[in-house]
Structure 1
């Protein structure tokens, strides 16, 4: 909230303002925001392919990915491809993450930016955290729905 309030007052970048919402903006084509969302999907792919992993790509690549995406995202793409080839417990999750990654990759286009400014890094972080929050909200909603179903039986 503090990051969003600061940037709303300071920025004149209209694309950046469109991602300063209270929830994920899935329609946004603002590249740093899309890259943050992609990073979250890459992490989710890793977590699903290697349950119980201690060190995720966030621990190793988050700062570099938000600063120099052109150097890091090809590495992350290769890792994600390896993770997608593994056997997953949930085929549905694998398909969902693959589709989401495909849609986000389409928004990126044919090349990653070599560097992101401080303001763009803020958008990257927002994209990452909103995409993660979306995952947790759906998990909580599914748990609540299951509990309500049990109470109605």
Structure 2
């Protein structure tokens, strides 16, 4: 695990953030590192990906808020060193698989899952283009 906190966060809002937290931890293996709120109320939570430096911040959907997005409309890509093992884990958890594990034309082994709020999550081996790379 990296020694520094993430500097880029995926931010989500959820109709039922407690359920989404349990899903992200139990199904995908995120680590819950912070949760603020009483009981089932989640004002703010932070989850870290155990294989890298990425994180997710989430909380309850508040349509009147200044930083609001409709739940279930986000998508994220998470790099994993062992997509086959993770795929078996999400299958065993009964996840909603949108794209089965496959090899992509850009060299990734990956799959796509829909979470209980409707967000799409791709997990794969593609780590992105190197810094200084140029689009073709």
TM-score (norm 1): 0.25
Structure with the bigger RCO (C-alpha within 8 Å, sep 6+) is 1
Higher helix content, 1 or 2: 1
Larger radius of gyration: 1
TM-score (norm 2): 0.27
